[in-house]
């Protein structure tokens, strides 16, 4: 396949300003202040730990950022093959005038200092956004986030609901709920009422999505008020819920969220397939894995019950991608969303991207999101995706189907940007 063709298409896609539909950016501290913000990201700490660096060296309390980087750098040579490492080098080259091919024990310190100086510039955040071509970035907000003190046009709020669905059994979650909503949980109605207030608060502040990550065995279903009341009564009385009541409560809250998404016209992002804490002694955010034995058939009742809610679905495993393609092909309310986590490496993106482009209506595909914690990651991650997207457009459309390059680029535009606007009502 012509490398020149791919490069022309990549260049075309690079002209498109981006809206990033999922990140973990803290809008009060969006960009990095030192290289430790970047290299301390779990991608590098978990890989360095995987390659043998003890967790205690990485997560020592009160560790100086420079010292942290000094400890990580020697391990980089053992993971310089990874896609994640390539993002690091691309960030350093793009943002910090880094000229070398690799970050090594010999060059890291000057890189660290250069980065610190750049990051200290008052408009660093703006520089990063501009250089990355990012216009808007979706957040992941706790349900009790006040959503104050930042530009909600630039940083679009998103109601993250894992705590509500899976941790309402914890007293501190219920306290946070009460504080945020003014509603004390006493029965099913109070939960519905409080969640309604959260949706009011979020939509009033420009939220454009509700979101949740889900374990492989979760299977949402409608729960009767009687069952929900039973579980909540037991909970409020201080009982430890048995597994079946805990599952009922999770399903009740989840179903209520879907109802509120319908009422408030918010898409409901489902990120399906993660088991939390599988590697108990892993580094921060480096403990989660999965069981590939999951199926979207678990969401059959949900997709049927809420035709008016759009569900942008992310799957953790490449082996789940075909189901995502098929369900999006059939269900009007299911759309494909990005390339998540363990599937966010080129070989999987290539296949998953091609299959979506070949079988899902083009208006129903959200191409990519960064999932980033710090703003600098957007650039290399979207760049990786654009190269893969350009390659798919070149191979399957320009060469394979005789499309003009401009028609292929338009398809790319839709997937990269246009659908984010239309599906989330932003832009």
Chain residues 338-357 in contact with a second copy, contact rule CB under 8 A: 342-343, 345-348, 351, 354-355, 357
Sheet strands side by side (includes 18-20)? 18-20, 134-138, 155-156
Q: Is 307 in the site for a second copy (CB under 8 A)?
A: yes
Tokens 């299977």: give the residue. 219
Least distance between a second copy and beta carbon 290 (Å):
7
**Contacting a second copy within 268-297 (CB under 8 A):** 275, 278-282, 286-297
Total residue count of the chain as it appears in this document? 427
Q: Which of Zn ion, a second copy, none has residue 45 at its interface (CB below 5 to 8 Å by kind)?
A: none
CB 198 within 8 A of CB 180: yes
Q: How many CB atoms lie within 10 A of CB 100?
A: 14
Of the candidates 300, 306, 405, 413, which one interacts with a second copy according to CB under 8 A? Answer: 300
- Choose between 342 and 403: whose C-beta lies nearer to Zn ion: 342
Structure tokens at 353: 């991207």
First to last CA, the chain: 34
> Which residues, listed in sequence order, are joined to residue 312 by a DSSP beta bridge?
335
**Contacting a second copy within 188-227 (CB under 8 A):** none
Q: Which of a second copy, Zn ion, none has residue 169 at its interface (CB below 5 to 8 Å by kind)?
A: none
Q: Is 8 in the site for a second copy (CB under 8 A)?
A: no
Size of the residue set binding Zn ion (CB under 5 A): 1
Of the candidates 371, 380, 418, 424, which one interacts with Zn ion according to CB under 5 A? Answer: 371
Q: What is the 3-state secondary structure (H, E, C) of 219-268?
A: CCCCCCHHHHHHHHHHHHCCCCCCHHHHHHHHHHHHHHHHHHHHHHCCCE
Rounded Cα–Cα distance for residues 246 and 240 (Å): 9
- Choose between 170 and 401: whose C-beta lies nearer to a second copy: 401
CB 135 within 8 A of CB 18: yes
Q: Is 120 in the site for a second copy (CB under 8 A)?
A: no
Chain centroid offset of residue 405 CA: 30
Closest Cα to residue 379, out of 26, 32, 27, 5? 32
- Choose between 148 and 281: whose C-beta lies nearer to a second copy: 281
Q: Which of a second copy, Zn ion, none has residue 110 at its interface (CB below 5 to 8 Å by kind)?
A: none
Least distance between Zn ion and beta carbon 371 (Å):
4
Rounded Cα–Cα distance for residues 177 and 265 (Å): 22
Least distance between Zn ion and beta carbon 40 (Å):
17
Least distance between a second copy and beta carbon 58 (Å):
12
Chain centroid offset of residue 127 CA: 23
Least distance between Zn ion and beta carbon 379 (Å):
18
Q: Is 37 in the site for Zn ion (CB under 5 A)?
A: no
Q: Which of a second copy, Zn ion, none has residue 342 at its interface (CB below 5 to 8 Å by kind)?
A: a second copy
Of the candidates 7, 29, 110, 304, which one interacts with a second copy according to CB under 8 A? Answer: 304
Q: Is 104 in the site for a second copy (CB under 8 A)?
A: no
Size of the residue set binding a second copy (CB under 8 A): 74
Enumerate long-range contacts of 229-237, CB under 8 Å, 24 or more apart: 229/187, 229/188, 232/185, 232/186, 232/187, 232/188, 232/190, 232/191, 233/187, 235/168, 235/169, 235/185, 236/185, 236/186
Q: Is 50 in the site for a second copy (CB under 8 A)?
A: yes
Q: Build a one-symbol-per-residue string for 379-418: x at contacts with a second copy by CB under 8 A, - elsewhere.
A: -----------------xx-xxx---------x-------
Least distance between a second copy and beta carbon 312 (Å):
14
CA dihedral angle for residue 56, residue 370, residue 424, residue 266, rounded to 10 degrees? -10
Of the candidates 150, 264, 306, 329, which one interacts with a second copy according to CB under 8 A? Answer: 329
Least distance between Zn ion and beta carbon 195 (Å):
21
Binding site for Zn ion (CB under 5 A): 371
């Amino acid at each position: 396949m012509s490398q020149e063709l791919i490069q022309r298409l990549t260049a075309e896609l690079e002209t498109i300003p981006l809206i990033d539909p999922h990140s973990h950016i803290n809008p009060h501290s969006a960009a990095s202040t030192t290289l430790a913000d970047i290299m301390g990201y779990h991608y590098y700490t978990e890989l360095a730990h995987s390659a043998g660096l003890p967790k205690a060296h990485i997560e020592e309390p009160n560790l100086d950022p420079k010292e942290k980087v000094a400890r990580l750098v020697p391990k980089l040579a053992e993971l310089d093959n990874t896609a994640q490492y390539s993002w690091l080098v691309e960030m350093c080259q793009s943002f910090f005038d880094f000229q070398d091919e690799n970050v090594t024990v010999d060059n890291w310190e000057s890189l660290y200092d250069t980065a610190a100086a750049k990051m200290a510039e008052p408009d660093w955040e703006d520089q990063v956004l501009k250089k990355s071509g990012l216009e808007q970035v979706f957040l992941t907000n706790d349900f009790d986030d006040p959503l104050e003190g930042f530009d909600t046009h630039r940083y679009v709020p998103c109601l993250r609901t894992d705590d509500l669905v899976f941790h309402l059994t914890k007293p501190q979650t219920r306290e946070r709920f009460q504080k945020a909503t003014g509603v004390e949980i006493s029965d099913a109605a109070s939960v519905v009422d409080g969640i309604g207030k959260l949706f009011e608060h979020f939509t009033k502040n420009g939220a454009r999505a509700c979101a949740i990550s889900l374990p492989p065995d979760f299977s949402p279903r409608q729960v009767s008020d009687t069952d929900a009341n039973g579980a909540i009564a037991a909970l409020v009385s201080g009982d430890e819920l048995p597994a079946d009541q805990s599952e009922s409560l999770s399903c009740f809250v989840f179903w209520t969220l879907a109802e509120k998404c319908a009422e408030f016209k918010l898409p409901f992002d489902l990120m399906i397939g993660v088991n939390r804490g599988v590697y108990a002694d892993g580094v921060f955010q480096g403990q989660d894995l999965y069981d590939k034995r999951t199926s979207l058939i678990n969401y059959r009742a949900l997709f049927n019950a809420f035709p008016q809610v759009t569900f942008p679905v992310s799957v953790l495993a490449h082996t789940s991608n075909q189901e995502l393609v098929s369900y999006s092909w059939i269900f009007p309310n299911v759309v494909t969303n990005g390339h998540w986590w363990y599937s966010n490496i080129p070989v999987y993106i290539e296949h998953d991207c091609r299959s979506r482009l070949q079988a899902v209506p083009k208006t129903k595909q959200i191409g990519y999101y960064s999932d980033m914690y710090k703003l600098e990651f957007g650039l290399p991650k979207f760049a990786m995706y654009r190269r893969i997207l350009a390659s798919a457009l070149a191979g399957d459309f320009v060469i394979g189907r005789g499309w003009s390059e401009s028609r292929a680029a338009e398809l790319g535009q839709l997937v990269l940007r246009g659908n984010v606007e239309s599906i989330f009502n932003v832009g």
